[in-house]
């Protein structure tokens, strides 16, 4: 049995007032079931608490694995999607079916939260990612054209040739400037 969870912060044994987002039981802790404890705690949270809950455990994970946010995100998505699939395969005529569907509803709400922090486009179909990137490219190309037009306008009055003053021409140049 692992002595430490990689992804999620467990409460300390016999800690009867843990942080509200810590997972596990007060006395006996089976850390190999960390994913289950993470989801069990999730079922008790309100939607506005999903962000702090996610980042509480991410902060714990990032202490041991800095710069591995994508790994953490992938793990969380994996357990959420697998649990949704598990509940949806349950017998719809069983007495616990309404309870399972309530869990699915919570998990889907959490999945919607995860879409807001998905920088790697793991929850979107590739077609929508490509379409989004195409829109971004079009927007940036339009901005480039606008900036090039501004640059052209700004350099329109620049001299195309530099004035070369040969010996003795300074007085004539000053006379021309004075006339302007």
- Kindly state whether residues 58 and 102 are assigned to the same domain: yes
pLDDT at 132 over 90: no
* Domain encompassing residue 141: 129-179
pLDDT at 31: 87
Whole-number Å distance between alpha carbons of 132 and 128: 6
pLDDT at 1: 46
Question: What is the average pLDDT value for the chain, to the nearest integer?
Answer: 89
- Tokens representing 16? 């009867």
Across the range 116-145, mean pLDDT stands at 89
Query: Is 109 in a helix, a strand, or coil?
Result: helix
pLDDT at 172 over 90: no
Tell me the per-residue pLDDT of 97-127, one tens digit each, with 9 for 90 and over: 999 999 999 999 999 999 999 988 888 888 8
Residue that is last in its domain, among 82, 108, 123: 123
- Kindly state whether residues 76 and 113 are assigned to the same domain: yes
pLDDT at 3 over 70: no
Residue 111 belongs to some domain of the structure: yes
Query: Is 23 in a helix, a strand, or coil?
Result: strand
Residue 162 belongs to some domain of the structure: yes
Across the range 61-78, mean pLDDT stands at 95
Residue that is last in its domain, among 123, 149, 167: 123
pLDDT at 174: 80
Out of 30-34, 85-89, 145-149, least confident range: 30-34
Residue that is last in its domain, among 123, 140, 157: 123
Whole-number Å distance between alpha carbons of 19 and 24: 11
Whole-number Å distance between alpha carbons of 103 and 84: 8
- Record the pTM: 0.72
Give first-to-last CA distance, the chain, whole Å. 90
| Tally of structural domains, the chain | 2
């Amino acid at each position: 049995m692992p002595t430490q969870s990689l992804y999620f912060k467990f409460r300390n044994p016999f800690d009867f007032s843990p942080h509200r987002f810590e997972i596990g039981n007060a006395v006996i802790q089976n850390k190999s079931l960390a994913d289950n404890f993470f989801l069990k705690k999730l079922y008790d949270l309100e939607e506005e608490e999903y962000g702090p809950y996610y980042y509480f455990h991410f902060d714990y994970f990032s202490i041991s694995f800095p710069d591995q946010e994508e790994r953490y995100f992938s793990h969380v998505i994996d357990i959420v999607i697998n649990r949704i699939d598990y509940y949806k395969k349950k017998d719809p005529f069983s007495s616990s079916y309404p309870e399972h569907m309530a869990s699915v509803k919570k998990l889907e709400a959490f999945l919607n939260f995860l879409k807001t922090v998905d920088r790697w486009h793991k929850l979107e179909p590739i077609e929508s990612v490509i379409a989004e990137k195409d829109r971004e490219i079009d927007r940036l190309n339009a901005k480039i054209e606008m900036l090039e037009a501004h640059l052209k306008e700004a350099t329109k009055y620049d001299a195309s040739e530099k004035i070369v003053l040969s010996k003795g021409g300074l007085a004539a140049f000053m006379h021309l400037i004075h006339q302007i």
